[in-house]
Amino acid sequence: MPRKSVLSLLLLTATISGAQQAATTTPKSGPTASSVDALPRDPAKMAVLIDASYYRPEELSSVDCDISMDWAALFTAMKQTPPPDRLVALQALKIHSHAVRGREDQITFDWPDAEIAGKDQIEGGLKQTLSGYYQMYWPLLASSLFKDAQDLNKIEPLPDGSANVYVGGDGNHLIITVDQKARPVHWVLDSAAMKGIIDPEFSPSPNPKPGDLSRISGLRVVENIGSSSMNVKVDMDYQLVDKFYLPRNVSFGIVGAYALKMEFTSCTETHGSAAP
The Cα–Cα gap between 101 and 273 comes to 10
pLDDT of residue 274: 55
The Cα–Cα gap between 53 and 140 comes to 14
Q: What is the mean pLDDT of the chain?
A: 82
Q: What is the pLDDT of residues 186-238, one digit of tens each?
A: 999 888 778 899 999 999 887 777 667 899 999 999 988 878 888 889 999 99
pTM for the whole thing? 0.81
Which of 46, 90, 56, 58 has the alpha carbon at shortest distance from 72? 90
Q: What is the pLDDT of residues 117-150, one digit of tens each?
A: 888 999 998 998 898 889 889 998 999 888 777 7
